[in-house]
A and B are shown apart, each in its own frame.
Chain A
Amino acid sequence: MITKEEVEHVGWLARIEIHESEAQAYAEKLNAVLDYFSQLDEVDTENVAPTYHVADIVNVFREDVVRPSMPQEEVLANTGKKQEGNFLAPRIM
């Protein structure tokens, strides 16, 4: 069971602002899903390896050859917050 406090913590980890007033409602909806997920507990997965990739491919590389980068205007074209060729963000802390 995910608690209201855990919802707030996970919200912070995921950088999604959750108001205290919303946390309870989130907890209920998330718990319904987590409850459904818990059915996996009944599957015996002893000695079963996880499947991270379905395609059995290894060693895919690129040669160390330079390709053109984007022009600075294009890099910054999707933001209004920029300064002297840099992205401009609020202070960090």
Chain B
Amino acid sequence: MTGWANISQVKEKIAQTSAEDVTASYLERIRKSRINAYTTIWEGAIEKAREIDEQGHNGPLAGIPIAIKDNISTRGISTTCSSKILQGYVPPYDAHIVERLKDAGAIILGKTNMDEFAMGTSTESSCYGPTLNPWDKARVPGGSSGGSAAVVAAGEAPISVGSDTGGSVRCPAAFCGVVGLKPTYGTISRYGLISYANSLEQIGPLATCVSDIAALMDVIGGHDARDSTSVQTETMYKDALVDDVSGLKIGVPAEYFGAGIDPAVENSVWDAIQLFEELGASWEQVSLPHTSYALAAYYIIAMSEASSNLARFDGTRYGLRNEGENWHVMASRTRAEGFGAEVKRRILLGTYALSAGYHDKYYLKALKVRTLVKQDFDQAFKEFDCLMTPTMPTPAFKLEEKVEDPLALYLADVNTVPINLAGVPSISLPCGFTDGLPIGLQIISKHFDEATVLRAAYSFEQNTEHHTRRPAEVA
């Protein structure tokens, strides 16, 4: 009965039947799934939905099922970052956004698959095996929030949350043909988000349409005293849903249409920009000259922070524990066994980049380049309200295509990582298809100007049909 549906459609269904029925049908769908998008299905969901039916709930998401990325702490529900090292870990506390979602009446269906510790662009490095792209099961769903994007695309949840360190919400949103937002750094509390690279990442919502993104933001956004980097914002995201882009000044950065871009992607994005022009916006080319250095700077910073963030997984207090003649050997073996190849590579590189003699060459240098990248954006936003680019240079690539070549995988993030370095908001939404595979348009705005991003995205959606297309097997 359920499937690809947005929040208001699910609400209608609940009104016609019950939250329990709706939840049950999602769970049934998940059990039959062949895309391996969930790492844990939460059996308590049914009971929770029944409670809402019986006791009533006036929260904005009352009875709406949701899927949560496996790197967000959920009290009593296994949270593993798709890593062997966290097998068996059941958090004793809820992340801030999980508290907010529960208060809003949302029903957690389960945890979604991801690249191990969010380190990847394909969801292939999960210890549970890859998630498959619902549009073509021979292809990756993107990553690292591949599970969160795939469940929405496959109708296994109407909405979900992921996290975006260097594109991890937007990339899978693009590859799976859904909408995904990376908000401004500091907009959503990271309390309970298991850190990969804390100075870069934000939790972000994924959904079938822009309205649902706004609805989710109204629930999970806002200040939290437990995250020192969380800021006070008073944005009502729903208010930004206006179908009007007249006068909007769009910048189109040439560097984001560089070598390796798929012509179909390029065409779709230009078609989109042209549509904006038809709707009353104007566009101009702009240059962000340090873009080509953003990728290296991003990876150095992310790996450095990761090498420290992942130090706590030492077998002592939770998760996997190996043997060893002393604590240090135990920790070394636990980590050697518990982390996958890519995670180990990034920890080693990050450790190296911070170590005596290399700190200035890599880590400090990367942070200085970060300043230059950020300045590029500051400069551009003096002239433009937003920037538009392809989210990914290509549509979803084939499974295993890039597994053996880490660098090739990193290069796929070229259009998404600069946004995290600068901390600005950006959204990916469907803007076309090529050979049956979705293409994502990325809209970027300045700090705390989610309103512009959402207004542009909403207007585009109101005037196009791309977001209504669904994978063949989702009836």
Query: A residues touching B (Cβ–Cβ < 8 Å)?
Result: 2, 6-7, 10-18, 26, 29-30, 32-34, 36-37, 39-41, 43, 45, 48-55, 57, 60, 62, 70, 74-75, 77-81, 87, 89-93
Known A45-B365, A50-B368, A87-B317; contact A33-B325, beta-carbon cutoff 8 A:
no
Question: How far is A10 from B410 in the complex, measured between Cα atoms in Å?
Answer: 22
Question: How far is A60 from B333 in the complex, measured between Cα atoms in Å?
Answer: 38
| Shortest beta-carbon distance from A17 to chain B in Å | 4
Query: B residues touching A (Cβ–Cβ < 8 Å)?
Result: 88-90, 92, 185-186, 199, 225, 228-229, 231, 290, 293, 296-297, 299-300, 307, 311, 314, 316-319, 321, 324-333, 335-336, 339, 344-345, 347-349, 351-353, 355, 362, 364-372, 374, 406-407, 410, 421-423, 447
Known A11-B348, A89-B330; contact A78-B369, beta-carbon cutoff 8 A:
no
A15 near B371 with CB under 8 A, answer no
Find the A residue at minimum CB distance from B232: A57
Q: What would 13 A/B residue contacts be, using CB atoms closer than 8 Å?
A: A13-B351, A14-B351, A15-B332, A16-B336, A16-B347, A17-B329, A34-B349, A37-B299, A45-B365, A52-B367, A78-B88, A79-B317, A90-B330
Question: How far is A30 from B362 in the complex, measured between Cα atoms in Å?
Answer: 14
B351 near A10 with CB under 8 A, answer yes
A90 near B327 with CB under 8 A, answer yes
B345 near A30 with CB under 8 A, answer yes
| Shortest beta-carbon distance from A55 to chain B in Å | 4
Question: How far is A36 from B410 in the complex, measured between Cα atoms in Å?
Answer: 11
* Apart from A50-B370, A91-B327: 12 A-B pairs, beta carbons within 8 A: A11-B348, A16-B335, A30-B345, A33-B349, A40-B362, A48-B371, A51-B374, A54-B422, A55-B186, A79-B321, A89-B327, A93-B326
| Shortest beta-carbon distance from B346 to chain A in Å | 9
